[in-house]
Amino acid sequence: MSHSDTRTISFTLNGKPVSAEIEIHWTLVDLLQRGFDLYGARQSCGQGLCGCCTVVMNGKPVSGCLSLAALADGGTIETIENGEEQLDPVQEAFIEAGAFQCGFCTPGFILMTRQLIADNPEPSEDDIRHYLTGNLCRCGTYPQIVEAVRMAAARHRAARMPA
Ligand code: FES
Ligand code: FES
């Protein structure tokens, strides 16, 4: 590959400034896996249909399999590997509700659930199913996922109430 097929990009990854040399055809999944050894965003369908590759770019969830890595230049990327030691309330709710089996889809569901709760703090079951329609779970843990989202949303609301 010639030198012109690569470029260096700089961005904020999970709160830390980083830079990486990328090949221009790399997707965000390639960038995270090859550039940073981060495997929470997984490629499954590769067509924007399953949500397993979800990452948050500039504050919005995107399909990491379809988004070019070069688009991250100058922006922010957040992944499930946010460097926090503590689980957040969404992760805790997924564990408590048993909302996964193999776990392959779970990072994508958790990132989307955080966004869902930020957009709609009191989602109905229909709201949850509609919002997460782009995330697929081959293990079929949808009832538990809905329960986990409801649990996490309730805790989020309770935490925001004045004491
Ligand atoms: S791997 Fe990206 S949406 Fe399925
Ligand atoms: S827990 Fe296996 S694909 Fe969702």
The span from the CA of 80 to the CA of 96, in Å, is 18
For the CA of 109, the nearest ligand: 2
User: Which of 52, 79, 132 has the most ligand 1 atoms within 8 A of CB, as the residue to mutate?
Assistant: 52
CA nearest ligand 2 atom 4, residue: 137
Confidence check: pLDDT of 11 > 60: yes
For residue 43, name the pLDDT band (cuts at 50, 70, 90).
very high
- CATH homologous superfamily for the domain 89-160: [2Fe-2S]-binding domain (1.10.150.120)
- Which one is the CATH code of 3-78: 3.20.20.80, 3.30.1370.10, 3.10.20.30, 3.20.20.70? 3.10.20.30
pLDDT digits (tens, 9 = 90+) for 115-130: 999 999 999 999 999 9
- Domain-wise residue ranges, the chain: 3-78, 89-160
**Alpha carbon of 22 to ligand 2 centroid (Å):** 30
Predicted confidence (pLDDT) per residue in 93-111, tens digit: 999 999 999 999 999 999 9
Q: Is the pLDDT of residue 33 over 90?
A: yes
Ranking 34-43, 72-81, 111-120, 154-163 by mean pLDDT, the lowest is: 154-163
Q: Which of 95, 139, 145 to mutate to test the pocket of ligand 2 (most atoms within 8 A of CB)?
A: 139
N-term to C-term CA, the chain: 60
- Cβ proximity of 146 and 100 under 8 Å: no
Question: Is 141 touching ligand 2 by the criterion CB < 6 Å?
Answer: yes
pLDDT tens profile 64-78: 999 999 999 999 999
59 φψ region: left (φ > 0), alpha (ψ -120 to 50), beta (else): left
- Rg of the chain over CA atoms, in angstroms? 17
Name the percent of the chain lying above pLDDT 70: 97
Give the pairing of strands 60-63 and 16-23.
unpaired
* pLDDT for the residue 99: 98
Q: Using pLDDT thresholds of 50, 70 and 90, give the confidence band for residue 2.
A: low
pLDDT, residue 160, reads: 85
**Entry field: residues in the chain:** 163
The pLDDT value recorded for residue 83 is 77
**pLDDT range class, residue 8, cuts 50, 70, 90:** very high
Choice from 27, 39, 53, 111 to test ligand 1 binding pocket (greatest atom count within 8 A of CB)? 53
CA 108, CA 152: separation in Å to the nearest integer? Answer: 16
pLDDT, position 84:
81
